[in-house]
Structure 1
Amino acid sequence: MTTSVRRRRCRGAPRRRRPWAGAASAGAVLLPAFPVLVALAGPLLPLSAAPGGAPSAPPGPGHLLGTDVLGRDVLALVSRGGLSVLGMTAATLVLAYAAGVPSGLLAAHGRRWMDETVMRGLDLLLAFPSLLLLMTLAATGHRGAGTLVAAAALVQVPAVARLVRATALAPGCRTAVEALRLQGVPEWRVQCGYVARSVRGPLVTDAGSRFGLVLYLLASANFLGLGLPADSPDWAVVIERNTDALFLQPAAVLIPAGLLMVLCVGANLTADRFLARHEGRSR
């Protein structure tokens, strides 16, 4: 048998499906789906998060998961606290990419003075610690969900812009952009068409990891009391309020912490699976 025949047979042979591929695909769907379902469907349940029981009571007939330090039902807090987590994290990512992607494209394919102006300005913002910015805003009286989302999105813009700029300046992408310009293709079609498709894969991968970073930043801010009020059912706020009673009522801390962890891991798995499928279709 010749080498060319062997190659044709190898190319035509079906690929074996790895035994862990199905489990990874299922995990990429089920892990983020569970906390998202809890966050979206929880507020529809007829549960009251108002104080009405003994503080840090163990699970019982009236409270299936017990109560927290304020006497609130833990099940009600868990079911109602995820919506703020998802909403604030999604809003932060949308704002960060809405500002970071155009900035990166402008720096990559604009004039040199424009590149220097955009990137040096973003470098100053990148050198400023995220939590320090949030603490400064809170100390000056700027609190609340809107301020927290805007500040968290602002500190993510430099990293997003740097990623887009590096991808758009890759040798293959840069050569294709110059060829399209020589053919007379309008600039908006070059940027919104070819360059946008080139940066889509890295952006999806970055979104999975950045989701965890933003979730950690927002949770840390709420944990430190820099964002939502202390009586909010937000998962991070509930963890902060019940840390001292961890051994008396562990469910009030471990359940929301577990949901945050599952949401973060599931988002990374989903991004990885999406990127793998995108690369498979490209090949």
Structure 2
Amino acid sequence: MQYYIEANLKEPITLQSLGRAAGYSPFHAARLFKAHTGRTPFDYIRALRLSQAALTLRGGSASVLTVALEFVFSSHAGFTRAFTRQFGLPPSEYRRRGGAQHLFMPYPVLANHHQTREGEKKMTEESPTRIIFVQVVERPARKLLLKRGEKAEDYFAYCEEVGCEIWDVLCGVKEALYEPVGLWMPAHLVPAGTSRYAQGVELPLDYSGSVPEGYDLIDLPPCRMMVFQGEPYDDAVFEDAIREVWKQIDRFDPTLYGYRWAPEAAPRFQLAPMGYRGYIEALPVEAINP
């Protein structure tokens, strides 16, 4: 159903046509769609149309009305209201700012979704699914307080080198902008004799507080981060949850949404694995047509 929606995003889509594409009744198609994506079909279609419209506004010169009609909105006013609800500002202001954060970029549900034909398996509610939520967020110019290792490439090697108590120190930094993170530093931010993987916390650009012994304080420029969030999971299998998100990141093509990877723009980071919220990791990106 996701593929049908993407292929017909600029055409009217009804529950009947969605059901026919999936091989189900309209009611059953809508119920399964929400169960596997977390959204009703029409919420999903509207959010995806608005995100694609935002990319069109950012990268082109077509009028707001032209873009609204292209993405099946019946009026300038209706499009503006929906756009403002989703992005927090009207289309004309979004274009002026060159904004692109918080786009709705659904990752395909990984499920056996085939019509019953010549022995193919039809999707059932028991079929395993893996849903990855993706969004782009803005990071302002800021400072990064970090503790480096020696050779570590991941969390476990880092803890062996440095110890796990670093996290407690970072959690105690009251000026932090966000929660502490594990970091994979870009090459130009890795001094000789230090590890690519580190742990740190981002601070306001004007931070002038103390720096604990053995830590570094560096400046980071503004950037955009593409954030991947997996489904909630049992904490006992957190390594499997991390690997699943990594697998989907490896397969993901950001150019479909107007971005490309920008590994030197900022550190890649991971939040502490917590089963109730799903595993979260973010990679730096840049707009293809800024």
Could you say which TM-score interval applies, normalised by the shorter chain? under 0.3
Higher strand share: 2
* Higher normalized contact order (CA 8 Å, seq sep 6+, divided by chain length): 1
Question: TM-score by structure 1 length?
Answer: 0.26
